[in-house]
Structure 1
Amino acid sequence: MPEPTEPPTAPPYVRIAAELSRRITDRELAPGDKVPSTRQVAQEFGVALATATKALDVLRAEGLVITRPRSGTVVAPRRGKAGEPAAELTRERVLAEATAMADAEGLEAVSMRAVAGRCGVAPMSLYRFVEDKDDLVTAMADAVYGSAVFEREPNAPWRSQVEALCRELWRLHRAHPWLGRTQPLTRPLPLPSVIRLGDRLLGALEGLGLPPKLHFDVHVLLFSHIVGLAANFEAEDVAVSETGLSSEEWTDLHYQPRMGDDAFMAEHPHFAKLFGHFGSLPDGYDLDLEGLFEMGLSLLLNGVEMMARRNGEV
């Protein structure tokens, strides 16, 4: 067992975390390098898996390592080279570090302590810029939404304006999968950047001449379509990390035996028409979230346009 850098009286997980931290500091493990797995740590240090897990949790909390979907746990990027003065701590830097952590690991990984570790400062330093984690997450979301253009050309057809705004919102949620969790449909945060987007989307829909409540309902429905569908990217990343299986592999494992079961197919004739021995989808079904976004957007706008025509406005 390697010589720990913490006193022998410290709990085993603390001593292990200190040793791994030393390796990162001494660049035995460089930024981007894979960190030993829980099982490898347990074997190397002769401890239980639970102890190894706690040691790695300490490194995550200190911002020394991050868990990336499909890549595992790696050493976090360093900010600045050895010997260089630390970058000035600003609100923008705090939000950028926290956002990078959320993008890589999800909101659960974001804590005041972990973000402080990424910035190379004491956790108390962050309280100059945010009140607590909730305030931090709110500020992160507003900054991300504020980074988008969300411009519209008032003289362009209403549909092209709406499509442009929706595609920009989709791009934003794809790049930051955690973002939708900050904006539940029933309790959206009154973020300045989100209100700005909503106002522009309402303006793009204005040419349809819909009744006021329907006008607002449509803008909510479009937002919900994008946020709800994009949430599946984060859920899939979590599932891949937990199971080690892609969505295609997981689906094949759980559904192929059913699709090949004659008794099951006999009980479900409409599935059989699609996926049975002589079904119309013999190669199965591949879920395409990008395609579903575009199809859903088109169906929604077609329906809205039809409603407006019935009202004689378009």
Structure 2
Amino acid sequence: MGEAPYRQIVAEVRRRIEAGELRPGDRVPSARAITREWGVAIATATKAHAALREEGLTVSRPGVGTVVAGPAPRHDGVLSHDRVVAAAIAIADRHGMAELTMRRLAADLGVATMSLYRHVPGRDDLILAMIDAAIGTIRLPRRHPGGWRAALELAARQEWAVFQRHPWLAPSLSLTRPQMAPNGVRLSEWVLAAFDGTGLGLDERMYVQLTLFTFVRGVASALEPEAEAVRETGLTDEQWLSTQEQQFATLLAAHSMSRFRRLTADGFDFSLERLFEFGLARLLDGLTPFVESR
């Protein structure tokens, strides 16, 4: 599948800026001009303009329109692909993926926004590089320890640790349209090899790998919203729950939820860590008869 039409427009405008065809302060094609030049709907043209602003390539000036934001520096010193990716990960870790823009990234690095495009073609490419770098921190031994179950448990715990360090990672990953991250492919290959010596075929191994990864990613998908809630309220999960005790009690009493009331009275552990531990053990228990029957 080709690149989305609005991304193609963004890429072409960026090329014109880099080539000097559009200089700082020059007006870029209006939304209506884009619809005529590229034959797209006005909504697509508007989306392209929004992406150009988000990437720091353009700014809106009252009475003038959308213009090129600024020049790319002739020399960007020690700026490198790895440094750009590391800075992007730091922003996403601290503030969430929604706060990561090319403009903010350039400001953190102390460079002009255009200089970033010498190292990453665009935001989508940047996110792919971030995903690959994060997964690349997983360190699995060359030899699989103690059979397939021990290997799967090790892989799951390593994945969970990475998701905890980078709460933005789980929501950024897709299973139906998987990003082509080399380190992600290597991780899958390691898990597939864990079943050597069993009767599982490659298709079955892949389904097991996807099931395991989906479980870990599913639990981890709650990490970023929780981190955002902490940033907004200043309250940890435990502190927030303590503020909801009266509301919980009223709700449970109104609907005669005796079992749930006993759970909360006994101090049920709502933590994601406990959910991960419980779910992983049950998942591996369920896989054992399946694998051993092959």
Tell me the TM-score range normalised by the shorter chain.
0.5 to 0.7
- Which of 246, 259, 269 matches 1:270? 259
Q: Tell me whether 1:282 sits opposite 2:265 in the alignment.
A: yes
Shift of 1:248: 2.7
Q: Contact 2:85/2:129 (CA < 8 Å) preserved in 1?
A: yes
- 1:159 deviates by 1.5
**Is 1:150 aligned with 2:140?**
yes
Output the amino acid matched with 1:145.
Answer: I
Give the paired residue count.
221
| Structure 2, unaligned runs of 5 or more | 1-54, 57-75
Q: Distance in 2 between matches of 1:169 and 1:179?
A: 10
Letter in 2 for 1:306: P
**Matches for 1:66-85 after TM superposition, within 5 Å:** none
The verdict on how the C-alpha distance between 1:255 and 1:155 changes in structure 2, with shifts beyond 3 A counting, is closer
Q: CA deviation at 1:225?
A: 1.2
Deviations 1:233-260 (A, max 9, x none): 2111111222333323433444543435
> 1:160 maps to which residue?
150
Distance 2:214 2:251 in 1: 37
Query: Could you give the per-residue CA deviations for residues 190-237 of structure 1, whole angstroms, max 9, x where no partner exists?
Result: 211101101111111344423543322111011111111122221111
Q: What SS does the aligned partner of 2:221 have?
A: helix
Q: Is the 8 A contact 2:131 2:169 kept in 1?
A: yes
Task: Give the direction of change, closer, same or farther, for the CA distance of 1:265–1:87 in structure 2 (3 Å limit).
Answer: same
SS in 2 for 1:209: coil
The code of the aligned residue for 1:295 comes to: F
Aligned mates of 2:275, 2:185 — CA distance in 1: 26
Equivalent-residue separation in structure 1 for 2:220 and 2:81 (angstroms): 28
**Residues of 2 paired with 1:98 and 1:261: CA distance?**
43
Secondary structure at the aligned position of 1:177 is classed as coil
Shift in Å, 1:142: 1.0
Counterpart of 1:187, as a letter, is R
- Rounded Cα–Cα distance in structure 1 between residues aligned with 2:248 and 2:94: 35
C-alpha contact 1:259 1:265 (8 A) present in aligned 2: no
Partner of 1:66: none
Please tell me whether the aligned partners of residues 182 and 189 of structure 1 are also in contact (alpha carbons under 8 angstroms).
no
Q: TM-score, normalised by structure 2?
A: 0.68
Unaligned runs of 5+ in 1: 1-60, 63-85, 276-280
Identity between Structure 1 and Structure 2 (%): 37
User: Hey, what's the Cα distance between the residues in 1 that align with 2:173 and 2:197?
Assistant: 27
Root-mean-square deviation (CA, aligned residues, Å) is: 2.4
2-side partners of 1:88 and 1:262: how far apart?
60
Q: Which residue matches 1:246?
A: 236
